[in-house]
Every structure is written in structure tokens, then in C-alpha cells.
Amino acid sequence: MVLDKLGSTLKSGIKKISNAIFLDKKLIDGIIKDIQKSLIEADVNIELVFSLTQKIKKIAYDESIQNIDKKEQLVKLIHDEILLILGGEAKELKLPKQASIMFLGLYGAGKTTTIAKLGFYYAKRGRKVALLGLDTQRPAAMDQLQQMADKAKLPVFIETKEDKEKNKKLTHTKRSLGIIKKYKTELKKYDLILIDTAGRDGLNKDLIKEIKTLDKTLKPTHKILVMPSDVGQTAKTQAQEFQKALEITGVIITRMDGTSKAGGALTACAETDSPVYFIGVGEQIHEIETFNPESFIQRLLGMGDLQALLEHVKSATDESQTKRIEDRLKEGKFTLLDLYSQLEQMNKMGSMDKLIGMVPGMSAAKIPKAALESQEKKMAHWKSAISSMTEEEIENPELLDKQTKRIQRIAKGSGTTTTEIRELLKQYKMLKEMMGMQSGMADGNIDSKMMQKMAKKMKGIKGMKL
């Protein structure tokens, strides 16, 4: 598919965000780097890339956003921003009952091929289509259109060899006007006329004059600029120039199948507010698709829609976190990272006081409000403390027991105090034990002894100055 690489990078970025227990700076920076690289490789304007990654950073580094909300916000942001740079909402090419479309573009842009493809496309949808060849410039143009029309089984109106011979002293434009005149009555039998015009090396005065004259004579419903995707970001200047010379109503990008620069052409069109109606995705007659930014992203991300994507984030979050913690408990392993994510979830649900309220003889009211409020601040400190630990220490916090030097190093590195770190370790141990009991509870094995033990622990939590 088009922009395969960008798609897989975005998918893997979203997966990493979804599955991460800890959205730390290292992870986010890695994802940002990958996304930046693949957007630049897809030829997306560097300013757009920069602005997108700044927005990602702003959310990702915002300490006040809870982990799970942050995941959703990040995924939504990536989706929405890419949608925007691709042109936002899809625009449909509106065709009245009687319509004509004139195709414009430089040499080799894909005009003639696209006309045959679109003729085929609309004929299948019940339109009475005819092709009109006005490219009197390129010697083989008429033959090419005839051949393509034959392939698509469409009627075609072109300059005959006799007319060409007869009018060889006339200008190209005059010859084109002659073709229009000759077939005027006959063309009335059709309800969609697709008009092929001549290209040039660049948009010169000659070309502008010619297409202006044809426009005045034909008054087509639409004037569509055809550009090959390999023009990349220069699609912007080309669209602007054609817009200035003659109000174009939209764009078709061809050869989307053969280049990595497709992102450049697509986003450049969005920047100039030129709707991309179709994209050409191969040389065959049926290889044309309507361009809808939303479904394009859905394909890039491999997800139905934004809602599905967000649900995926949520379920990935819940499943992966719960499963990870469960697995770890089974293995008798529960790391500080697990503690952090557990606390964060509890904090979000306000479930610490709920949990306490469930234990007979205890209520949340017994815990000073200020202490509950300081919980968030404390967690921020714990978070930096955890990020200053080595992987080994995170996995096996027992390593820190009575290791004043290690604790001092972590405190120094994270701007926290050794007391805070000791408190974190104490909390870790307590929670590890509680989690063990909870999982026993989940198996239905709870007995009164365990309940008493738990209540005792809860009192411990109260004493912990949460």
C-alpha cells in the first residue's frame, strides 16, 4: 500500500504507547524520533513534522495528565493531526446531471491515463461517459487516448488524421477549438465529458493562454489539476500557480503506487486548500481510488476509526497492565514499575479511599484530607526516583534494602530525599503483600484471618501519611 513505511511506524508508535506501563521520556522520545523520521521520509513538510512532534511532546511531558488519559490523548492527537495535514474531511467531487471535467497538468503528469480510468469508474456507476481529446501538441496523444478509451470501452472524440493534415498550419489551440466545434452536437448525448488537454514542461504563457481559451469555450463543471506524486512538496507551488492562472477546482495525484514522496504531494495540496479527489494507484484502468483522508489514515493505522483506535488503547492498557501485574505476582515478582502503574490507576479511580472504606472499622474520613491531596505530589517524586534507578533496582527493589549509598545516589539523581525513597520502598513492600492477598481474594480463597491481616495493613497505610 501507499506510504507503507509511514503506516507501520505510526502503528508501532501507537502500539508502544498503548502497551506502555510507564510513558517515560525515553519511550516518548523514541516514538517521536521514529515518527519524525518516517514523516520526513514520506516527504512531509518539515515544519508540519516539527509542529506535530511539539504537540506530542506537550501532552507526553505534561505531568498533570494521568497515564491512561495521556495515552488516549496522544493517540487521538496523532490521528487528528495526520488527518489535518492530509486535508481533513473528505471532499466529494460533485457532478451535476450534465457535467464536464477538464484535466490540466504538465507533461507526463498522468492526464490521459487518469481520464480513461475515471471514465471507466463513472461508466460503471451509471454515467454516460465520453472522452474528448484536445491534446493537439503531442503527436501520439490522439492515438494514446483512443487506445485507452478502447480498453475502458468508452466512446472517444479526437482529431482525425485527415483533420490534422487539413489544419496543420493552424495553431494548436485553434486545432483544439476545431475539435470542440466538430463534435459539439454529438457530445450533447453524453452526461459526463472528460476532456484531455496538452501538457507543457512548465506552466508557461503558452499553456496558460491555451487552457484559458479552452475554459472559456467549454465552461467545464470542473478543472482538475493532475500531478504525479513524485513532484513531492513542489505540488504546493504547482497547485498555487495553476490556481492563479485559472481557478482549478481540485487535484488528482497519480502514481501514488510508485514513490515514497506521496506524503509530500498530499500534504502540500492540503496546505493550498486544493481538495484531492482521487489518487492513481497503478497503470491499470481500474487503479484509481477516491481520496478520503479519514479512510486513508484508517488504512495507515490499520484500525477501523478513531473510536476503535481509542478502544484498542484502553483495552491494551487494561489488559497489558493487569496481565503483567498478575503474571508478575504469579512469578512472585512485583517491581517498582508495577507499583507505580498500580498507584496511578488507583489514584485515578480515587480507589485508595474506596478500598479503605471497604475494610470494617476504617473509613476514608479517618485519613487527613491534606494527606490524600499530597499523594499526587508524592507520586511525582516517586516517579522521578524510579527513573533514576537502574533497571536492576527497579526489577528487584530488595537490592536497595539497607543500601544507603544506592538510596543516596537515587535521591541525588532525582532531586528527592532519602526519606522519600525509603517511604517508596516501604509502600512497595506493603502493596506487594496486599496484591498477593488481593489475588487470593480473587480466587475466592479469602478467609477471616486474611481479612484481619488486610485491615491491619490498611492501618499501616494510614500511618504512611499517604
* Residues found near ligand GTP in the complex (CB under 6 A): 105, 107-113, 135, 138, 141, 199, 226, 254-255, 257-258, 280-283, 287
- Beta carbon of residue 70, minimum distance to Mg ion (angstroms, whole number): 51
C-alpha 159/C-alpha 370 separation (Å) is: 87
* Among the residue ranges 111-119, 202-210, 310-318, 448-456, the one whose residues contact Mg ion (CB under 5 A): 111-119
Nearer to ligand GTP, 282 or 460 (CB): 282
- Beta carbon of residue 200, minimum distance to ligand GTP (angstroms, whole number): 8
C-alpha 40/C-alpha 193 separation (Å) is: 39
* Among the residue ranges 47-55, 79-87, 107-115, 431-439, the one whose residues contact Mg ion (CB under 5 A): 107-115
Could you say which of ligand GTP, Mg ion, none residue 110 binds, taking C-beta under 5 to 8 angstroms by partner kind? Answer: ligand GTP
Residues from 113 through 152 that contact Mg ion (CB under 5 A): none
C-alpha 172/C-alpha 142 separation (Å) is: 13
C-alpha 76/C-alpha 91 separation (Å) is: 22
| CA R_g for the chain | 33
C-alpha 370/C-alpha 111 separation (Å) is: 71
C-alpha 70/C-alpha 55 separation (Å) is: 12
Phi/psi at 86 (5° precision): -95, 0
Per CB under 5 A, does 427 bind Mg ion?
A: no
Nearer to ligand GTP, 13 or 110 (CB): 110
168 by Cβ neighbours in 10 Å (0-12 / 13-18 / 19+) ranks as: exposed
Nearer to ligand GTP, 110 or 264 (CB): 110
- Beta carbon of residue 197, minimum distance to ligand GTP (angstroms, whole number): 8
- Beta strand spans in 134-209 (E): 156-157, 192-196
- Beta carbon of residue 117, minimum distance to ligand GTP (angstroms, whole number): 8
- Beta carbon of residue 320, minimum distance to ligand GTP (angstroms, whole number): 41
- Beta carbon of residue 162, minimum distance to Mg ion (angstroms, whole number): 22
- Beta carbon of residue 231, minimum distance to ligand GTP (angstroms, whole number): 12
Could you say which of ligand GTP, Mg ion, none residue 50 binds, taking C-beta under 5 to 8 angstroms by partner kind? Answer: none
Could you say which of Mg ion, ligand GTP, none residue 107 binds, taking C-beta under 5 to 8 angstroms by partner kind? Answer: ligand GTP
C-alpha 258/C-alpha 4 separation (Å) is: 11
Q: Taking Cα atoms as reference points, which of 395, 281, 387, 289 lies closest to residue 338?
A: 395
Nearer to ligand GTP, 289 or 433 (CB): 289
Could you say which of ligand GTP, Mg ion, none residue 281 binds, taking C-beta under 5 to 8 angstroms by partner kind? Answer: ligand GTP
Phi/psi at 194 (5° precision): -110, 120
- Beta carbon of residue 1, minimum distance to ligand GTP (angstroms, whole number): 14
Report CA torsion sign: 329, 386, 316, 13.
Answer: negative
C-alpha 161/C-alpha 182 separation (Å) is: 14
Q: How far is CA 107 from CA 81, 201, 290, 445, in A?
A: 33, 6, 23, 78
C-alpha 428/C-alpha 434 separation (Å) is: 10
Q: Select the residue interacting with Mg ion from 18, 112, 114, 414 (CB under 5 A).
A: 112
- Beta carbon of residue 133, minimum distance to ligand GTP (angstroms, whole number): 10
Nearer to Mg ion, 112 or 414 (CB): 112
Nearer to ligand GTP, 254 or 274 (CB): 254
Coil, strand or helix at 22: coil
Q: What cell was used for 227?
A: 500531478
Please answer whether residues 418 and 407 qualify as being in contact, where contact means their C-beta atoms are separated by less than 8 angstroms.
yes
Nearer to ligand GTP, 115 or 407 (CB): 115
- Beta carbon of residue 137, minimum distance to Mg ion (angstroms, whole number): 9
Nearer to ligand GTP, 103 or 428 (CB): 103
Could you say which of ligand GTP, Mg ion, none residue 246 binds, taking C-beta under 5 to 8 angstroms by partner kind? Answer: none
Per CB under 5 A, does 176 bind Mg ion?
A: no
Other CB atoms within 10 Å distance of the CB of residue 212: 13
Could you say which of Mg ion, ligand GTP, none residue 264 binds, taking C-beta under 5 to 8 angstroms by partner kind? Answer: none
Please answer whether residues 408 and 417 qualify as being in contact, where contact means their C-beta atoms are separated by less than 8 angstroms.
no
Nearer to ligand GTP, 120 or 428 (CB): 120
Task: List interacting residues with Mg ion (CB under 5 A).
Answer: 111-112
